[in-house]
Every structure is written in C-alpha cells, then in structure tokens.
Chain A
Amino acid sequence: MDSNIAGIRVDVTEDGYLSDLSQWNKEIAIEIAKENNIELTDKHWEVLNWIQEQVKNEVALSIRSIKKSGIIDIKEFYDLFPGGPLKISTKIAGVPKPKSCI
C-alpha cells in the first residue's frame, strides 16, 4: 500500500515497513525515527547502514548477528533503539522486520 513519509510517496507493508529498500532515503529514516522518539546520531547511522548491508547480502538478522557485527554490542543496541531494537531499527533502515511463517 501507499504511504507518505517525509513528503515522499513510498510503498509500505500493512505495519508500516518499506516494501522496497530502493525508495529509502535519509529523510525517511529521520521521520520514522522521530515517530519512535529517536533522534538519529552517527552511531545510529552506522548501525542502520550495517543492517542494510546484511539484508542486501541476504543474511538473516538476529540478536546473534548484532552481537557478531563488531560495530555495536547488545546493550548499546538496546540503548539506541529502546523497546524492540530489531523491530524498530529495521523499520528505520527500510528493510523487512524479522518474521516467522505466520
């Protein structure tokens, strides 16, 4: 379905995740972060870039992969994206959230 984020028309899933990473840009990320009460810092951008790289390389995202990323430890990850860090960081990065079969 269609959505308008930061004045840009994008395709999103029913729960607000971008369907197409190529439509993502920094303004969109800032806007989604704001909705989640997060102001993006350099460290946030570093993590978001890393997440996008993983998805482009078809590597599954999990807390384990964050632990092994070498750019952030898990406590920092929780501090940067409080609540559900994987759920929120993937939304801001414009990639699908980790999911199950149903």
Chain B
Amino acid sequence: MKNLVILGAGTSGTMMANHLVSKLDKKDWNITIVDQYKTHYYQPGFLFLPFDIYTEDQVKKVGEKFIPKGVNYIQKKIEQIFPTENKVELEDETLQYDILIVATGCKIAPQETEGMKGENWHKTVFDFYTYEGSLALRNKLRDWKGGKMVVHFTEMPIKCPVAPLEFVFLADSYFTKKGMRDKVDLTFVTPLGGAFTKPKATAALSHLMKEKNINVVTDFNIERVDNEKNQIVDYGDTTVDFDLLVTVPTNMGDEVIERSGMGDDLNFVPTHHNTLQSLDHENVFVIGDATNVPASKAGSVAHFESETLTDNILLYIAGKPLKEEFDGHANCFIETGNNKALLIDFNYKYEPLEGTFPIAGIGPLQLLKESIFNHWGKLAFRWIYWNMLLKGIPIPMVSRNMSLKGKKIN
C-alpha cells in the first residue's frame, strides 16, 4: 500500500480529499488528512458577521462532516514535516508518505507589528480575519456610538485582498441603516499606491470612495500601533488617529512550515506557479493559501487549483510529465454595500476586466460593475461553498482556466 497524506482540512485540503478519494485506486492507496481543529469555518462569512448579516452558526460546521468515507481523518497537531525522509511527525505518531499535499493555509500574525496585539486588542483594535476577532467586533459595533473608524491592512500578501475594501463599504451601509452615518468618520488606509491598484478597476471604481464619503490614506507602511494616543504610525512618521481600528495584520503561513524549514520569510512554501509541485521536493505538492504563488489567497483560487492538482497527482503517480496548467484564475464577488456587489474574474496575466459572466454577451452576471444580482451571487455562494465547493463538485460553466470570452480587453 502507498500513502497519500494531506496536511490541513480547510478549504483546499477538504477539496483534495474529495477529489482524490474517487480517483485513486483503494487497493493501492491510503489517503489520510490531518488537521488539529474540529471546526471548519466559512471564512468569507467573517466579513458579514460583524454587521449582523450572518450568525455564528452560518459560518462554522464540524469539519469531519466534509471528509469523505474512505479517507482516514486524524484530528491532531502537526509537529514537523521531514521532506527528505518522507515523513510527518504528529503530536504522538509519525506518518510515512509517498505523496504529500501541503494545505496548511495562512493566518494573521498581529505580533509582527509593534503594539498591534497590545492592551487594546479586541477592545479598540480588531481583526476580522478570525472567528474570534469578527465576533468581538460584532459585539463592539452593536453599541458603538460612533467616532473615527479606520480600516487598514498591514502588507501584501493577505488572504482575500479585497476584503478590507468590502469591509469599509459594508460599514458605510451598516451605519447608514442605523441612522448614525453622520457620527462615523470612515478612513481606509493602505500600504499600496491607491484604494484600487489596477488600471481598469481604478477607472471603473474610484468614484465609490467619494460617493460613500470614505477618506483614503495611501502608501502607509505601518511601523506600530500607539495604544496611548490611539494612532497608527508609519515608517515615514505619518499618523492616523482612530477610535476604532479594524486592521488586517500581516498574513503568514503556518508555523509548521517554519519548523520544517520549508518556507520563505512569511512561511509560504515555494511552489511551481503552474503545476503546484513544491520547488524543492518532487513528491510534495502545495495548494491554497500555503503556497507562494502570486495568485490571490482566496477560496475560488484554491478551487481552480484543486482541479489542476488532482490531474497532476494522477500524472505524477503514472510517471508522466505534469501539466503546467494553472493560470492564477480567481473569481470573486466583492460587496460594495447597499445590497450590491461586483464580480471580478482574472488570472496571473489579465487584470479584472469589464464584461459579462459566465455566458459571453448574456451574463447574467456583470463583471467589474455594481449590481444587486452580483450581491445575490455572493450570498448564494455560502450554499455553494458547503454543498458543492468543498465536495469538489465543479461549478457549472466556470472553468479552471480563465476565459477571455465576454470580456472587454480594451
């Protein structure tokens, strides 16, 4: 018998287990998946939880429910990977593997910025990239009386790079509905050169910030959070005052990657951009947020990657060359508030363009344009996530590689 081991039972790991269980011959292969946590979170829901749009129950389920029969599920901590010895050490046992899939994801690292995880953490300084942070923020907002709200992200790459923008748009809607928008000063702070950084999106969307009366501070590279003055301070000594800071800390790959000596500075695993094979070990494959590929860290990207990776695992087993197929495809709904959303579809090569999706010329979804229909799409996605995406069921008409059909290139 041979062993295929998947590390991490989040979005990517769960999808790979579901894909491979029906593709690998049970007579020859054991499939094992390891994750230390019992709960599987619908992470896109963390954007909605603070605004009472979703409840706690809508964003979490027991992870084991999504692991298919025929896959050995181990709920234990992963201590270290020994890639040259083809083994993984768990808290109290060692697994040998023939093929390893690293799907250990990434998470926030507020400790990387001085003062961020200080005395005001989850009091006036919040994240919304964890269940705990998002829930604490909801409780804070329920009776917040207003003041300066600053929405900020520390540095790229982060999981779902548009989420901070979505957050500020939803905050504008939320305070308007509560009849207190005039009591809230909203500021978006980014280390990049603008709220939007790609030419087509900048042209199509820059008006949103002005319309919604959101201040924008660009090129802000945070050095520290000053917990006495309630300010964020950048390396150029610019400061931004806040009463309530909603920040996205530095995102890093899991510590197990660091312990195993397999990552870069941010614990992301060097990975071939198109095959998803690890650059250092040929029987190690990497998927989702754990990779260093220059695609967005997002569930849709993991979904498209999982289709290519499944094919490549089978090719690897057959001793054939891998397909250099993955193109960085991402497909994301972006909330813009007032029950509207945008849809973007892009890859390594093409920036988000205007057009219709998924059927060229028809839609029904509009690319890079606000619509109520796109917002329904975003809300429907939660059902798709739990019932189709995790199970590895292809999403109808949305192919793994990005299509230029229906898109306006110029």
Binding site for B on A (CB under 8 A): 13-15, 58-60, 62-65, 68, 74-75, 77-78, 82-87, 97-102
Contacts and interface: CB of A to CB of B under 8 A. Distances in A.
B157 A15 contact: no
B346 A101 contact: yes
**Interface majority SS on A: helix, strand, loop or mixed?**
loop
B296 A99 contact: no
A102 B201 contact: yes
Interface string B209-223: 000000000110101
A60 B294 contact: yes
B78 interface: no
A13 B199 contact: yes
A97 B221 contact: no
Given A63-B235, A65-B265, A83-B219, A99 B197 contact: yes
A35 to B, nearest CB: 15
B235 A74 contact: yes
Contacts of B351: 102
A101 to B, nearest CB: 5
B197 A100 contact: yes
Interface in B202-243: 205, 218-219, 221, 223, 235-236
B200 to A, nearest CB: 8
Max count, chain B CB within 10 A of own CB: residue among A60, A85, A86, A100: A100
B2 to A, nearest CB: 33
Interface stretch (B11-19, B32-40, B188-196, B389-397): B188-196
Interface in B233-280: 235-236, 250, 264-266
The 9 closest A-B pairs by CB, nearest first: A84-B219, A102-B201, A99-B197, A14-B199, A63-B221, A100-B161, A87-B193, A74-B235, A101-B161
Contacts of B223: 74
Contacts of B162: 100-102
A64 B265 contact: yes
Nearest to A78: B236
B235 A101 contact: no
Nearest to A97: B193
Contacts of B218: 84
A68 B191 CA distance: 18
Given A62-B155, A84-B219, A87-B219, A98 B235 contact: no
B198 A62 contact: no
Max count, chain A CB within 10 A of own CB: residue among B193, B201, B205, B219: B193
B334 interface: yes
A14 B351 CA distance: 13
Contacts of A13: 199
A75 B346 CA distance: 36
B288 interface: no
Nearest to A62: B155
Contacts of B165: 102
A60 B352 contact: no
B330 A84 contact: no
A65 B162 CA distance: 22
B81 interface: no
